[in-house]
Structure 1
Amino acid sequence: MTDRDAIERFLEMMAAQAGAAANTLAAYRRDLTLASDVLAGALARADADALARLADEWRDLSRATVARKAAALRRFFGFLLDEGDRADDPSRALPRPGTRRALPRTLGHADVDRLFAAVAARLARDPPIATDLRLAALIELLYGSGLRASELVSLPRNAVHPDRPFLILKGKGGRERLVPLSDRARAAVAAWRAHVPAAAGYLFPSGGTHISRVRLFQLVRGIAAEAGIPPDRISPHVLRHAFATHLLEGGADLRALQTMLGHADIATTEIYTHVDRRRLVDLVNERHPLERTLAEARVDASVSGT
């Protein structure tokens, strides 16, 4: 069994059984191939000592990179064990550096208000300019539905129906999910779509395809500058995170949010949607049954004079 054969079989399993996306498969291929090169093509047969040498090669890499590489190898060796290609799993020798995922940047409610005020100022032109209608539709969908940049720019022309408050997307790993649409977003899309040729395949066409993620990034930063928001504080992904954060702050259920964002793992949603600690403390103090019992006891005590 060569490393190349083992890696290809592993990637086939990840695609077929785990539904791994193309980018995920490419990352696994890269990490496994590099590890195989370091071990002179003997990765699939590596023992604990060989993996220790491999880990030594990673000593100058960041903790996040080491954690990613080690996770890829652990899954690879688990696959070989399950397939009967190995009788043991040497991956315990791999480092576990641990890595904390930084909380993504977000925008406050005041920032979002300024952003939409800048969009409204553009739309106030008479007559409105088509590119401003496109911008309004893009911003409404980013913040109002939490779409990924790649999902947004590649929306089909008729993906948003005027009488349907949701759309169905196929996201990472080919998983479908239902995405809610606000009345504002549907109205903005309808106004823009009137300027999109009926023969166009995409809602936001450009040339023979759709606008790029880079162009979307530029458009978002441009309107943010008009709103007085520093360019380094905003991006399409920041607006997606603001959507999630503000929904959670408003009382949205974490599982529902996981579905809307298209996260396969609830842990991703928990990291992605941080909530102000003080609000959580206040929530416990106000809503916890024990707190209510203690409050009632204090009232009874004051009434009885004890």
Structure 2
Amino acid sequence: MQRDTLASIQAADVECFITFLMDIGMNATSQARILSGIKSFFNYLVLENIIEKSPAELIESPKLKRHLPDVLSYEEIAKILDSIDLSTAENRRNRAMLETLYACGLRVSELVSLKISMIYPKEGFVRIIGKGDKERLVPIGHTALEQILTYIKADRCHIEIQKGNEDIVFLNRYGKSLSRVMVFKIIKRLVAEAGIRKTVSPHTFRHSFATHLIEGGADLRAVQDMLGHESITTTEIYTHIDRRYLQDTIRHYHPLEKKN
């Protein structure tokens, strides 16, 4: 392509191309990816002094649709927890894991790497190392804390712990830390045994933790801190879930809506 041809491209040309992508049914994610490539290309041309200014500089990316995460109701979570058979050491560990996921809103990676030295029973906090090795202190409720301590004192102590796993809270039968895949499988089985038909992952408990706090009136900034979100906009998705909850409440309980 000739230098003059490149220099003649205007912002309107780029906008027309993006509109064309929209017209042929391309989704917003793909449109945004293509626009990002176009911007990178023109930025390169500017750096090489082939053109003076990028025609794509001020063009905004297509709005990406934000998918609201699935959540469990408190009753569903209680049903899952209560249906766990605590007669086995493995299930007592599983109960403690699920209690911790829901009580602290942890990512599955944070759960499997949780260390005994990071739990402060007297203070009622756990220290979490999240994305980018960023640390945060998260309150832990009495019930979850009790389940963890019971597991550590009554069951974990009987496991032959492998070297390097001495401080890891949740271990498999071979004395090693659980993998994220193993936690997914455990949760899938426990949810099925409880008769819950939703697709549930470890992250569903994190979503439920945040949603229930927002529904209960918790401050958004406090929830952001507990989740370890760098940006408040990431946490704001739970306010959309809260609005959906409010809409459902109106539909189910408002007398005019009940008539319809």
Amino acid at match of 2:188: R
Q: Which residue of 2 aligns with 1:225?
A: 192
Instruction: Indicate how the Cα distance of structure 1 residues 156 and 98 shifts in structure 2: closer, same or farther if over 3 A, else same.
Output: same
| SS of alignment partner, residue 167 of structure 1 | strand
**Cα distance in structure 2, aligned partners of 1:212 and 1:163:** 29
Q: Is the 8 A contact 1:137 1:188 kept in 2?
A: yes
Q: Does 1:103 align with 2:68?
A: yes
Instruction: Return the match for 2:96 from 137, 146, 164.
Output: 137
Instruction: Indicate how the Cα distance of structure 1 residues 280 and 175 shifts in structure 2: closer, same or farther if over 3 A, else same.
Output: farther
Q: Is the 8 A contact 1:63 1:99 kept in 2?
A: yes
Q: How big is the shift at 1:91?
A: 3.9
Amino acid at match of 2:221: R
Q: Percent identity?
A: 35
Q: Which residue of 2 aligns with 1:200?
A: 166
Instruction: Return the match for 2:211 from 239, 242, 245.
Output: 245
For 1:45-94, what per-residue CA distance to the aligned partner results, in whole angstroms no more than 9, with x for missing partners? x9795995x9799988632244356468869988999xx88874554376
Q: Is the 8 A contact 1:204 1:211 kept in 2?
A: yes
Instruction: Indicate how the Cα distance of structure 1 residues 48 and 253 shifts in structure 2: closer, same or farther if over 3 A, else same.
Output: farther
Q: Is the 8 A contact 1:161 1:186 kept in 2?
A: no
Q: How big is the shift at 1:276?
A: 3.6
Q: How big is the shift at 1:138?
A: 0.7
| SS of alignment partner, residue 181 of structure 2 | helix
TM-score (norm 1): 0.62
**Cα distance in structure 2, aligned partners of 1:141 and 1:185:** 6
Q: Is the 8 A contact 2:119 2:127 kept in 1?
A: no
- How large is the RMSD of aligned CA atoms in angstroms? 3.9
For 1:71-125, what per-residue CA distance to the aligned partner results, in whole angstroms no more than 9, with x for missing partners? 68869988999xx888745543766221111100011122112112112xx12x3
**Cα distance in structure 1, aligned partners of 2:41 and 2:92:** 49
**Cα distance in structure 2, aligned partners of 1:61 and 1:95:** 16
The more displaced of 70-79 and 251-260 is 70-79
Instruction: Return the match for 2:220 from 239, 245, 254.
Output: 254
Q: How big is the shift at 1:182?
A: 0.7
**Cα distance in structure 2, aligned partners of 1:209 and 1:47:** 61
Q: Which residue of 2 aligns with 1:148?
A: 107
**Cα distance in structure 1, aligned partners of 2:43 and 2:132:** 21
Amino acid at match of 1:264: E
**Cα distance in structure 2, aligned partners of 1:151 and 1:135:** 15
Q: How big is the shift at 1:164?
A: 2.8
Q: Does 1:275 align with 2:242?
A: yes
Q: Is the 8 A contact 1:133 1:192 kept in 2?
A: yes
Q: How big is the shift at 1:178?
A: 1.5
Q: Give unmatched runs, 5+ long, in structure 2.
A: 250-260
Q: How big is the shift at 1:213?
A: 1.1
Amino acid at match of 2:184: F
**Cα distance in structure 1, aligned partners of 2:227 and 2:73:** 19
**Cα distance in structure 1, aligned partners of 2:139 and 2:44:** 38
Off by >3 Å, runs of 4+ in structure 1? 46-52, 54-62, 68-81, 84-91, 206-209, 276-282
Q: Is the 8 A contact 2:115 2:169 kept in 1?
A: yes
Q: Give unmatched runs, 5+ long, in structure 1.
A: 1-38, 40-45, 283-306
**Cα distance in structure 2, aligned partners of 1:244 and 1:68:** 30
Q: How many pairs were matched up?
A: 230
| SS of alignment partner, residue 111 of structure 2 | helix
Instruction: Return the match for 2:178 from 184, 190, 211.
Output: 211
